[in-house]
A and B are shown apart, each in its own frame.
Chain A
Amino acid sequence: MLRSEKRTHRLLRLYIPPDSGWRGTLSALSGFLACITVFCCEKGMPEFFTTLNSLIPQFFDKLLVIWEALPYILGGALVTAATIVGALGLGLILGIPMAVGQIYGPVPVRLFVRLYVWFFRGTPLLVLLFLFYFGLFQFIGLDVSAFVASCLVLGLTSAAYQSQIFRASISALPMGQMKAARALGMSDAQALRNVILPQALRLSIPGWSNEFSILLKDSALAYALGTPEIMARVNFVATRTYTHLPLYIVAAILYFIITLIGLYFLRALERRARIPGYNM
């Protein structure tokens, strides 16, 4: 009894004498509801109840729509997942040499990387998607599907961000590491491959997790090119069945779940890559 009393809403507590049992609670509650009903009717709010009435059967209709559309939408989740994997991979492949180039490379390389990063970080993704898919790719005669195009553009953008993550972790390494490697007779390339990168990549994992969740959210923009991922499919169903709100909420939940799954894997990776003394 004590527990339930504690949980009664503060507003209700005003109406209920503290020592009345559940009967008292119930009667106070029904009185409260009656007051609201009378108040609403007198104020001329019957529409409120009619909408409520029509909403209940509607609710089940919508549930059915969602149930039937779910396999189709989940297919979109696969496309989304493929997009991210492709984009993250491309970003990784391009990002590492860019980071190395920006730190150890000659001046023109450094300038190029800075310009590249400035351009891709300063331009909205939506504009980049349009620019590349409708413009540049056609201009250079590259005929790609919307899926490949969005993978490429997301990957190029991610490369700009990832290069900065790697650059930060390479510069966070103590200077002595490079010196020690050279002192052992390694060439700079060997030192990079065997000493610098294994450490820097470990340090990058938290930044990389962050990049993953940003990229996942950004991948929703690929729908604007017509890539059949989650958003595009949700939109497709929504406009045909007039089931907007519930479907968008489903999409939101899906993205949430994918984020959680991805972060779970990344955390596992972080654990596996852990070395004593490296606090990440």
Chain B
Amino acid sequence: MLSTMDFFWERIVPNLDKGLWLTVQIIAPSAIIGFLLGVFIGTLRVFGSPKIRKVMDVYTAIIRGVPLVVQLFILYFGLPSIGIYFQPYTAAVLGFILCSGAYHSEYIRGALLSIKQGQLKAAYALGFTRVQTILWIVVPQAVRRALPGCGNEIIYLIKYSSLAYIVTCMELTGKAKALAAQTFRFTEVFFAVGLYYLFLTTVATWLLAWLERRLSIPGFGGKSR
């Protein structure tokens, strides 16, 4: 039997590295498209017609009220019974996008509502149309206000990407589970995969803090106001 260190370097690391790549492939599109979807939905929830607002509010309430596991189960195991089939990867990414879009939209909505009426009035008084106002005045401000919340959401997404294993996507957690079941060395393997995720979340936290600094403008964000 291999010693712990040897086991770590010879078995765990090569195995998990393969899973890590898939995890990144899941996270990247989910985070980006999810955020854009969130901006879209959040904007509709504030500026849409009453009917659209209602629909989007219901969507957000449902997604936020139901565990992500259940959503993934519906997408991957449930929808085939009405003839819709997804690959595991597609189901996972789709589930993450729909879910994080709803959560992002909540932050975006709050940020949009926090923008003072005067900003809109000033834009209209300069001859901006409604769409131009939203695009050039409201959204740039709202995104900065929403950034801390949305950043948190992306950290959550990284952690919840482990649920892709449930729809049989062999990413980090899936690989770890398989390796652990093979070797019966649960503690080492899961501790190692925990470190992998800690690495991902810590790096993401740094990147988001950096991005927040880059985009920071005097008068926005917690400290200066």
- Given a CB threshold of 8 Å, the question of whether A touches B is answered with yes
Name the residue among A121, A124, A216, A219 with the largest chain B CB count within 10 angstroms. Answer: A124
Interface string of B144-164 (1 = CB under 8 A from A): 000000000001000111110
Name the residue among A216, A248, A249, A259 with the largest chain B CB count within 10 angstroms. Answer: A248
Name the residue among B71, B74, B83, B187 with the largest chain A CB count within 10 angstroms. Answer: B187
A217 CA to B68 CA, complexed, in Å: 7
Taking CB atoms, residues of chain A closer than 8 Å to B78 are 244-245, 248-249
The main secondary structure of chain A at its interface with chain B is helix
Taking CB atoms, residues of chain A closer than 8 Å to B92 are none
Inter-chain contact B160/A223, CB cutoff 8 Å? no
The main secondary structure of chain B at its interface with chain A is helix
Taking CB atoms, residues of chain B closer than 8 Å to A248 are 70, 73-74, 77-78
Inter-chain contact A124/B70, CB cutoff 8 Å? no
Q: Does A265 contact B (CB under 8 A)?
A: no
Inter-chain contact B186/A122, CB cutoff 8 Å? no
Q: Does B173 contact A (CB under 8 A)?
A: yes
A245 CA to B62 CA, complexed, in Å: 16
Number of A-B contacts (CB under 8 A): 120
A251 CA to B177 CA, complexed, in Å: 26
B186 to chain A, nearest CB (A): 4
Instruction: Give the residue of B66, B81, B188, B190 whose beta carbon is less than 8 angstroms from that of A242.
Output: B81
A119-B198, A124-B162 in contact; A255/B187 too (CB < 8 A)?
A: no
Inter-chain contact A259/B65, CB cutoff 8 Å? yes
Interface size on A, residues (CB 8 A): 41
Taking CB atoms, residues of chain A closer than 8 Å to B77 are 238, 244, 248
Inter-chain contact B197/A124, CB cutoff 8 Å? yes
Which residue on chain B has the smallest CB distance to residue A258? B65
A123-B159, A244-B80, A245-B82 in contact; A231/B187 too (CB < 8 A)?
A: no
Interface string of A117-140 (1 = CB under 8 A from B): 011011111111011001110110
Inter-chain contact A245/B162, CB cutoff 8 Å? no
Inter-chain contact A220/B70, CB cutoff 8 Å? yes
Inter-chain contact B69/A135, CB cutoff 8 Å? no
**With A122-B159, A138-B186, A252-B74 given, can you name 7 additional A-B contacts, CB distance below 8 Å?**
A125-B159, A130-B190, A231-B69, A248-B70, A251-B70, A252-B66, A256-B66
23 A-B pairs with CB atoms under 8 Å apart are: A51-B83, A119-B198, A124-B163, A127-B193, A130-B176, A131-B186, A131-B187, A131-B190, A131-B194, A134-B187, A135-B188, A138-B187, A139-B187, A217-B67, A220-B67, A243-B81, A244-B81, A245-B74, A245-B82, A248-B70, A249-B78, A252-B74, A255-B67
